[in-house]
């Protein structure tokens, strides 16, 4: 069944039924937990809260961010919420409520819409997010836009956040997890595996999984704030390019040692020659960059059971990023990351 | 200059410069008023607040909701925010922060992007909304998605809101302003003026203006809550269809007298034969429907200096909407309003 056959209200009814929500709401139906007014009114209303609010939004467009041939609709739903969760994680916040906007071609299949929503619910359940409705409109191109809010943790007063402008000379620079797996996944999806080389089906599958189902570092972001860290961001466009944002916002030079960068083990197996460059410049890892005093970072790393690796240091000097190899020689790369509008 | 030539970061820089915002933010630059963290970090953070939050989102897609041939980019920007403001108005809330997502074709002109943002700022300034960044991505089709939050007024305790499920038998039904002007504007824009009929340039211009620059009823919505009204919504898809949502959510029959419906004066001048039907079923007026006890409504209407008109009554009975003519005879219409996905 195509969405144009059942119409906007029919589609909303189908999607809400699947997840046990009464739509349109009948008189006296209680709103879902945490909401004063649920889906079906002019707007959704969340219960009374207090604090500093965090807001972010991110969009995925078919043919640009993914193709249905290589990504399941359920994974598209997961990723659409996950990339927004990563932005809340990158502020050290607690995610709260998501609004979902779909632009759908008239021949979009309702089964695919259901799968998409299952993926959204997977991520919402995994990270305790309330899905609060949104908008569905007709368009020649499929896109999904999620707007996500969260709350800042408080350290006994003002909002405690991970910002890009809080790096200071002498701070150490660290990253969570391993880098490059998502870039490896893209390369496998776009080019296919290298048929001249021996296959590594397990590693290849993990790389594609990293691309399709990124795991936002929500808990590690909050733990960083609790540990006293105040500078960080997520790795979405490529490590070097993203570090450049911290360097320019904070007015510090960032000195990175390539040998210390945690490169994905699976990436090393599948693309041994290019793994380091892919880890440094490939996007969509959704790990966190964290910057702070060495003692604070050491405590944090201990608490996280070494899920975090120090890769360099912030120094006085011109705001830029230098990457050196194991001999201390500056490395250069063809590109530093992604720009979403420039011709590639 | 096309956006692909200056890239995502170049475009953000251009847009922020135009409105006096430092981007990327330099260390120590204070965030704009009301924000802890402004544009240029992973997310925007609003200062600490307390209350019940209202959230809504609405999208406009080129070729579906407007065409650049007939609507200026500045008006597109205004309307994209205004339709969301209307949803906050329809809950009786106070608008707060907007996130803006653009999907842009690579050949989109930066001058058009600037005009679009001028329109967004026009509406943000008129209704005291903070523009808090968003996302810009590449797509074959232009679209603009606004996610808008607001705060509920409080009547000394729980959130005080205008909901669709709060109409009771015996209540009167009222609407703000006049209806049908926006539908008249669409008809002029799509079909052009009727060259056989005498022209009415001033009225025609006002109808097109109603379509291009809708005025959300933010103050009237808040005044309704303060006056004690608790049921309402905005007229976005067509009066009869929208009344149907209140009837089904509240479980009441709504009885409307066509002769009492305030039809746009300009619409009567330009399309005398169809004015009533267009006022009853045309969408995008962004006036408010309000339902409540007669005495409460009377007080409210007095306070608003008669910007509000009673058009009917809620009764016990099957949840539906009946419209009667001046002789009490039930009227029927070819269509009741808009569905955004169904084939038309």
Please, how many CA atoms are within 13 Å of residue B42, restricted to the half-sphere of its CB? Answer: 35
B75 pLDDT exceeds 80? Answer: yes
Nearest Cβ partner for A48 among B51, B249, B340 = B51
Closest residue in B to A157 (Cα–Cα): B48
Other C-beta atoms closer than 10 Å to the C-beta of B135 total: 23
ipTM value, please give it: 0.88
**Surface of A (164-183) touching B: CB under 8 A:** 164-165
A292 pLDDT exceeds 50? Answer: yes
Which of A57-77 are b and which e, b meaning 16 or more Cβ less than 10 Å from the residue's Cβ?
bbbbbbebbbeeeebbbbbbb
Q: For chain A, how big is the Rg over CA atoms in Å?
A: 21
| CA gap A200, A270 in Å, rounded | 7
In this complex, is the C-beta atom of A341 within 8 Å of any C-beta atom belonging to chain B?
Answer: yes
Question: Which of A33-42, A72-81, B71-80, B133-142 has the least mean pLDDT?
Answer: A33-42
User: Which bin fits B92, alpha (ψ -120 to 50), beta or left (φ > 0)?
Assistant: left
For the record, the structure tokens of B261 come out as: 């419906």
Among A53, A97, A184, smallest CA distance to B50 is for A53
Q: What percent of chain B is modeled with pLDDT above 70?
A: 94
Q: Which residues of chain B neighbour A97 with C-beta distances below 8 Å?
A: 53, 55
pLDDT band at B344; cut points 50, 70, 90? very low
In this complex, is the C-beta atom of A139 within 8 Å of any C-beta atom belonging to chain B?
Answer: yes
User: Which bin fits B202, alpha (ψ -120 to 50), beta or left (φ > 0)?
Assistant: alpha
Number of residue pairs across A and B with CB atoms under 8 Å? 285
Strands of B152-210, DSSP E: 153-154, 159-160, 172-176
Q: What single string gives the DSSP state of each residue in B233-274?
A: EE-SS-HHHHHHHHHHHHT-EEEEEGGGS-B-HHHHHHSTTT
pLDDT band at B320; cut points 50, 70, 90? very high
**Under 8 Å CB-to-CB from B321, ≥6 apart: which residues?**
B240, B243, B244, B247, B253, B254, B256
Among B177, B185, B151, smallest CA distance to B234 is for B177
A53–chain B nearest CA distance, Å: 5
Helix/strand/coil for B201: helix
Among B309, B287, B131, B295, smallest CA distance to B219 is for B287
B212, B262 Cβ separation under 8 angstroms: no
Q: What single string gives the DSSP state of each residue in B302-343?
A: HHTTT-EEEEEEEESSSS-EEEE-TTSPBP--S--S--SSS-
A336 pLDDT exceeds 70? Answer: no
Average pLDDT over residues A68-88: 96
In this complex, is the C-beta atom of A64 within 8 Å of any C-beta atom belonging to chain B?
Answer: yes
| CA gap A234, A175 in Å, rounded | 9
Q: Which residues of chain B neighbour A161 with C-beta distances below 8 Å?
A: 36-37, 45
A119–chain B nearest CA distance, Å: 21
Q: What is the largest CA-CA distance in chain B?
A: 71
**Surface of B (233-262) touching A: CB under 8 A:** 233-234, 245, 248-251
Mean pLDDT of chain B: 91
| CA gap A189, B35 in Å, rounded | 41
Beta carbons of A46 and B28 less than 8 Å apart: no
Average pLDDT over residues B36-45: 84
Nearest Cβ partner for A341 among B8, B158, B165 = B8
A55, B44 Cβ separation under 8 angstroms: yes
A167, A252 Cβ separation under 8 angstroms: yes
Nearest Cβ partner for B341 among A3, A50, A61 = A3
Distinct helix (H) and strand (E) counts, chain B: 10, 13
Q: So what's the pLDDT on residue A275?
A: 95
| CA gap A76, A65 in Å, rounded | 9
B181 pLDDT exceeds 60? Answer: yes
B20 pLDDT exceeds 90? Answer: no
pLDDT in tens, B252-296: 999 999 999 999 999 999 999 999 999 999 989 999 999 999 999
In this complex, is the C-beta atom of B33 within 8 Å of any C-beta atom belonging to chain A?
Answer: no
Cα dist from B93 to A131, A133, A140, B48, B322, whole Å = 21, 18, 34, 18, 30
Beta carbons of B40 and A164 less than 8 Å apart: yes
Angle between helix A201-212 and A73-89 (nearest 10): 70
Helix/strand/coil for A343: coil
In this complex, is the C-beta atom of A34 within 8 Å of any C-beta atom belonging to chain B?
Answer: no
| CA gap A143, A70 in Å, rounded | 16
In this complex, is the C-beta atom of A155 within 8 Å of any C-beta atom belonging to chain B?
Answer: no
Question: Which of A320-324, B49-53, B107-111 has the least mean pLDDT?
Answer: B49-53
Q: What is the largest CA-CA distance in chain A?
A: 71
Q: So what's the pLDDT on residue B338?
A: 63
A148 pLDDT exceeds 80? Answer: yes
Q: What percent of chain A is modeled with pLDDT above 70?
A: 94
Among A214, A236, A13, smallest CA distance to A119 is for A214
Beta carbons of B99 and A147 less than 8 Å apart: yes
Q: Is the dihedral of CA B288, B292, B296, B299 positive or negative?
A: positive
Beta carbons of B343 and A234 less than 8 Å apart: no
Q: Which residues of chain A neighbour B106 with C-beta distances below 8 Å?
A: 341, 343
- Dihedral angle at the C-alpha atoms of B238, B244, B245, B250, nearest 10 degrees? 150
A205–chain B nearest CA distance, Å: 28
| CA gap B214, B227 in Å, rounded | 25
For the record, the structure tokens of B191 come out as: 């079909």
**Surface of B (281-340) touching A: CB under 8 A:** 339-340
Q: Which residues of chain B neighbour A135 with C-beta distances below 8 Å?
A: 57-59, 145
Nearest Cβ partner for B249 among A24, A161, A339 = A24
In this complex, is the C-beta atom of A46 within 8 Å of any C-beta atom belonging to chain B?
Answer: yes
In this complex, is the C-beta atom of A225 within 8 Å of any C-beta atom belonging to chain B?
Answer: no
Beta carbons of A26 and B88 less than 8 Å apart: no
A22 pLDDT exceeds 80? Answer: no
pLDDT in tens, A306-316: 899 999 999 99
The torsion angles phi and psi of A256, rounded to 5 degrees, stand at -110, 135
For the record, the structure tokens of A205 come out as: 């599958």
Beta carbons of A104 and B341 less than 8 Å apart: yes
| CA gap B40, B22 in Å, rounded | 9
Is the link from the previous residue into B87 a cis peptide, with omega within 30 of 0? Answer: no
Nearest Cβ partner for A9 among B57, B339, B343 = B339
A11 pLDDT exceeds 50? Answer: yes
Q: So what's the pLDDT on residue A184?
A: 95
Q: So what's the pLDDT on residue A84?
A: 96
B54, B90 Cβ separation under 8 angstroms: no
In this complex, is the C-beta atom of A344 within 8 Å of any C-beta atom belonging to chain B?
Answer: no
A69 pLDDT exceeds 80? Answer: yes
pLDDT band at A344; cut points 50, 70, 90? very low
Q: Which residues of chain A neighbour B5 with C-beta distances below 8 Å?
A: 342
Q: What angle do CA A184, A190, A194 make, to 5 degrees?
A: 65
Task: Please report which helix (H) or strand (E) contains residue A322, including its range.
Answer: strand A321-324
Q: So what's the pLDDT on residue B9?
A: 82
Beta carbons of B41 and A7 less than 8 Å apart: no
SS3 per-residue string spanning A92-106: CCEEEEEEEEEEECC
Q: What angle do CA B105, A181, A143 make, to 5 degrees?
A: 25
A272 CB-contact burial (10 Å; exposed 0-12 / middle 13-18 / buried 19+) = exposed
Beta carbons of B25 and A165 less than 8 Å apart: yes
Average pLDDT over residues A23-47: 78
Beta bridge partners of A147: A57, A99
B138–chain A nearest CA distance, Å: 6
A319–chain B nearest CA distance, Å: 11
Beta carbons of A143 and B138 less than 8 Å apart: no
A151–chain B nearest CA distance, Å: 9
Average pLDDT over residues A182-202: 82
Q: So what's the pLDDT on residue B342?
A: 61
Beta carbons of A36 and B161 less than 8 Å apart: yes
Beta carbons of B97 and A51 less than 8 Å apart: no
Average pLDDT over residues A77-101: 96
Helix/strand/coil for B228: coil
Q: So what's the pLDDT on residue B79?
A: 97
Q: Which of A1, A55, A335 to mutate to test the interface with B (most CBs of B within 10 A)?
A: A55
pLDDT band at B124; cut points 50, 70, 90? very high
Beta carbons of B24 and A143 less than 8 Å apart: no
Other C-beta atoms closer than 10 Å to the C-beta of B307 total: 18
A263, A275 Cβ separation under 8 angstroms: yes
Which of A243-258 are b and which e, b meaning 16 or more Cβ less than 10 Å from the residue's Cβ?
bbbbbbbbbbbbbbbb
């Amino acid at each position: 069944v195509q969405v144009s056959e059942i119409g906007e209200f029919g589609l909303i009814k189908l999607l809400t039924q699947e997840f046990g929500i009464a739509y349109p709401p009948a008189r006296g139906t209680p709103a879902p937990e945490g909401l004063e007014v649920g889906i079906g009114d002019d707007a959704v209303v969340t219960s009374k809260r207090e604090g500093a609010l965090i807001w972010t939004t991110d969009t995925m467009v078919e043919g640009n961010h993914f193709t249905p041939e290589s990504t399941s609709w359920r994974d598209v739903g997961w990723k659409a919420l996950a990339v927004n969760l990563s932005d809340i994680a990158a502020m050290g916040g607690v995610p709260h409520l998501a609004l979902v906007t779909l632009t759908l071609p008239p021949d979009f299949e309702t089964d695919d819409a259901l799968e998409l929503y299952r993926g959204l619910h997977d991520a919402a359940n995994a990270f305790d997010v309330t899905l609060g409705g949104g908008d569905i409109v007709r368009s020649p191109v499929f896109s999904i836009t999620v707007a996500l809010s969260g709350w800042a943790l408080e350290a006994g007063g003002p909002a405690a956040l991970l910002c890009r402008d809080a790096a200071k000379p002498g701070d150490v620079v660290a990253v969570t997890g391993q880098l490059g797996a998502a870039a490896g996944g893209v390369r496998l999806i776009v080019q296919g595996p290298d048929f001249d080389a021996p296959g590594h089906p397990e590693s290849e599958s993990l790389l594609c999984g990293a691309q399709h189902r990124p795991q936002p570092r929500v808990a590690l972001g909050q733990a960083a704030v609790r540990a006293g860290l105040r500078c960080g961001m997520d790795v979405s466009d490529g490590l070097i390019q993203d570090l450049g944002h911290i360097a320019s916002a904070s007015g510090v030079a960032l000195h990175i040692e390539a040998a210390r960068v945690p490169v994905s083990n699976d990436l090393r197996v599948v693309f041994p020659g290019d793994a380091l460059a892919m880890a440094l410049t490939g996007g969509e890892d959704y790990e966190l960059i964290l910057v702070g005093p060495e003692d604070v970072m050491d405590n944090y790393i201990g608490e996280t059971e070494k899920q975090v690796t120090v890769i360099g240091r912030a120094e006085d000097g011109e705001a830029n990023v230098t990457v050196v190899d194991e001999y201390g020689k500056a490395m250069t790369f063809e590109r530093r990351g992604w720009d979403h509008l420039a011709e590639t």
